[in-house]
Structure 1
Amino acid sequence: MRLTIKDIAKMAGVSPGTVSKVMNNTGSIAPKTKEKITNIIEETGYRPSFSAKSLATRTSNLIGLIYAGEVSVEFNHPFFSQVINAFKSEIGMLGYDILVFSNSKLRNATSDYIEKCRHFQLDGCLIIAGEHLEESVYELDKSNIPCVGIDIPLTGPKSCYVMTDNQKVSSKIVEYLYLNSIKNVAFIGGPADSVISNIRKEGFITSMNQFGMTVHEKWLKYATYTEQTGYEAMKEILAETPYPDAVYAVSDMMALGAIKAAKERGLKIPQDIKIIGCDDIDACRYSDPPLATVKQDKDKMGRLAARMLDDLINDNNDLSPVLVDPELLVRESCLAGNGYMMDTDRRLGR
């Protein structure tokens, strides 16, 4: 017969809540009582189930990981996978495990995320933003279930979010180009309804205007964060002359596609045209030429998300959204001839 937390409590002559505090190393328990309960657990070989822990503490120590959106992020996404790894390490040290949700049956639902959270008695959720978010995500945000979003601005009563300062992503790029006398710049964004892409586009246009640089409508293109669509957008940009002096793509994958299209046109990079992306995925260092990019601090984002979610779970609701500073990494694909460097990464052989 499987022992329950109530059985252990009865053997020790204490309440189930006291047993739970000993198991989770929380609360103030008298040393003799703690030793007695620990000895009983060791002697009986008791292992708590999630339901037993929940009965005593009304928590499960489980976090839901939601890959949201009709076009959701893949598990091996080069940016989000690193954020998740950092989150997983930090949330694990805080005593939680992770339950991954599948959204394949939830896209037309209004409350299934909430129902699943309650079914598994989750303490909170981390939401990874894809494209075309389902209504159930917004319903979850409005609920009293603690949630932290990555690249999704959550505004609910128990919600908060972490994202890169995407305005700065664009302003750093435009400032670098301006300081090197590069003023004819094309832009390849994500889908027209992408929140993050639109913030970067707004930052690009604002910074271009700030420095008196002309924004050419014919050089504003949209793609879907893939190498192939970046390649196709770049072909459209190069369909007629004159060509821009530089191209800024809001993701590295699209920038890599742009490099391919430029090479097919017979252009040399960076001599004839300069290309810069965003995210600093590993492939940037090994492309030909190495891709200039804007680095997002993926480790910090994941760790912050874990700490913020733990605070929300423990009723610290006085949190504000966190915007993480980006870093411009100037590699060979966007090296300028005027000698001005800014937060550079010149170690091309590493």
Structure 2
Amino acid sequence: MNIKTIAKMSGVSVSTVSKIINNYPDISEETRTKVLRIMEEIGYRPSLNTKSTTFRKSKMVGVVFAGKLNVDFTHPFFVDVINAFKKQIGLLGYDLLFFSNEKFLDGGEDYLARCRHFQVDGCIIIAGDEVESSVYDLDQSEIPCVGVDIKLSEKNSAFIMSDNEKISSKVVEHFYLNGYRDIGFLGIDRYSEVTSTREKAFINSLQNFGLAYRKDWFVYSQDFREEDGYQAVKQLTDRTDQLPQAIFAVTDLLAFGAIRALKEKGYRVPQDVAVIGCDDIDACRYTDPPLTTVKQDKQKIGRLAALMLFDLMNKQMDVKRIMVEPELVIRQSCGGSGIWSSANPITQSS
């Protein structure tokens, strides 16, 4: 049995059958239904080298760690997300297929072709920085996709991320409630949609509370590692003795580096400079002092991503985006009682 036989039985051309198998859109619904019904009746299945995933379920989900920088199995945020995703999607009966991007960063990457080749039923895309253009080919394809920290917008796609604007607004609110008025920022010196959103929301929140935006207190690291945060804040302490009362670092790893640089210069945390990070990775509990941070619910993000993808693959989903509420986790690196109330007493840090 081959597509010539299918074409003859259906009364259409071989090219029309091929287009239906490969899920091309320029076929009438009536013709598509007729050909699919005949293929189902005679038990025809496309061969493994076809692009289509329409007729056989592989029960396989592709995993793409997108971006030229910042995403791998050592990243403490993304590894927790993918572990939660793996457990939930496994309970739903799917296995994972991880796609490497190391050989495709020169502009020749093609995730879509590889997803079609392996006939994955869907794909989760976990995004870092400088995302490859091939990722957006996946977004525009017939393959259901869910993005984590990347906004996918096409009809077979959805995305999930923490509410990054609320992350920054909660940080500024906590600083304000606890008497901090001179506030700095530690970001990264290349474009990242997530960190850019946090920075813009941070500046807006400063303005909403009537606090000064001091550009000289905004410092940027080369990457997201602890060492990068250390180098960025070390440069700040080297060039000025007038430091902010508090610093918001866009990730916990950067916050760890900031604390090390401050302590090396003789500043006490939080008595001289308070520090808040973001992510709430496990190591936050064990730093000296333990790090106040904004928790991204990694378990919830991973589980929701799995459920969203399952619904997309089974055409049961209308929701296209989910923003997960962040939570401030108060420890010792930022002074104050941590009571979220307008009645919270304002105490100036020393």
| Bin for the TM-score computed over the shorter chain | 0.7 to 0.9
Q: Which runs of 5+ in 2 are unaligned?
A: 1-46, 342-350
Alignment of 1:230-309 (within 5 A): 230-238=229-237, 239-309=239-309
The answer to whether the 8 A contact 2:178-2:335 is kept is no
CA distance in 1 between counterparts of 2:53 and 2:110 reads 23
CA distance in 2 between counterparts of 1:124 and 1:230 reads 37
1:191–1:160 Cα change, 3 Å: farther
- Could you say which residue in structure 1 is the equivalent of 2:11? none
Q: Cα offset for 1:236?
A: 2.4
Alignment counterpart, residue 117 of structure 1, candidates 111, 115, 118: 115
Secondary structure, aligned partner of 2:168: helix
CA distance in 2 between counterparts of 1:120 and 1:109 reads 21
Alignment of 1:153-168 (within 5 A): 153-168=151-166
| Cα displacement string for residues 287-343 of structure 1 (whole angstroms, at most 9, x for unaligned residues) | 01101101111010000000100111112352221000011011101022xx45239
Give the letter aligned to residue 228 of structure 2.
Answer: T
- The answer to whether structure 1 residue 77 and structure 2 residue 99 are counterparts is no
The answer to whether the 8 A contact 2:157-2:312 is kept is yes
Q: Cα offset for 1:111?
A: 6.3
Secondary structure, aligned partner of 2:97: strand
Per the normalisation by structure 2, the TM-score is 0.79
- Could you say which residue in structure 1 is the equivalent of 2:141? 143
Q: Cα offset for 1:110?
A: 5.8
CA distance in 1 between counterparts of 2:106 and 2:130 reads 12
Secondary structure, aligned partner of 2:278: coil
CA distance in 1 between counterparts of 2:89 and 2:77 reads 19
- Could you say which residue in structure 1 is the equivalent of 2:325? 325
- Could you say which residue in structure 2 is the equivalent of 1:134? 132
Farther off after superposition, 235-244 or 130-139: 235-244
Give the letter aligned to residue 319 of structure 1.
Answer: V
Per the normalisation by structure 1, the TM-score is 0.79
CA distance in 1 between counterparts of 2:299 and 2:312 reads 20
CA distance in 2 between counterparts of 1:208 and 1:55 reads 50
Q: Cα offset for 1:138?
A: 1.2
Q: Cα offset for 1:127?
A: 0.6
CA distance in 2 between counterparts of 1:163 and 1:289 reads 29
CA distance in 2 between counterparts of 1:116 and 1:55 reads 12
1:87–1:55 Cα change, 3 Å: closer
| Cα displacement string for residues 161-219 of structure 1 (whole angstroms, at most 9, x for unaligned residues) | 11000001010010011111201011011343111001100110111000000011111
Identity of aligned residues (%): 49
1:232–1:86 Cα change, 3 Å: same
Q: Cα offset for 1:241?
A: 2.4
CA distance in 2 between counterparts of 1:342 and 1:228 reads 33
> How many residue pairs were aligned?
290
CA distance in 2 between counterparts of 1:277 and 1:129 reads 20
1:99–1:245 Cα change, 3 Å: same
Secondary structure, aligned partner of 1:334: coil
CA distance in 1 between counterparts of 2:70 and 2:132 reads 10
Give the letter aligned to residue 138 of structure 1.
Answer: Y
Q: What is the RMSD computed on CA atoms of the aligned residues? A: 1.9
The runs of at least 4 consecutive aligned structure 1 residues that moved more than 3 Å come to 54-57, 108-111
Secondary structure, aligned partner of 2:210: coil
The answer to whether the 8 A contact 2:217-2:243 is kept is no
Q: Cα offset for 1:71?
A: 1.4
Q: Which runs of 5+ in 1 are unaligned?
A: 1-49, 344-350
The answer to whether the 8 A contact 1:107-1:135 is kept is no
Q: Cα offset for 1:74?
A: 1.5
- Could you say which residue in structure 2 is the equivalent of 1:313? 313
Secondary structure, aligned partner of 2:203: helix
CA distance in 1 between counterparts of 2:165 and 2:335 reads 22
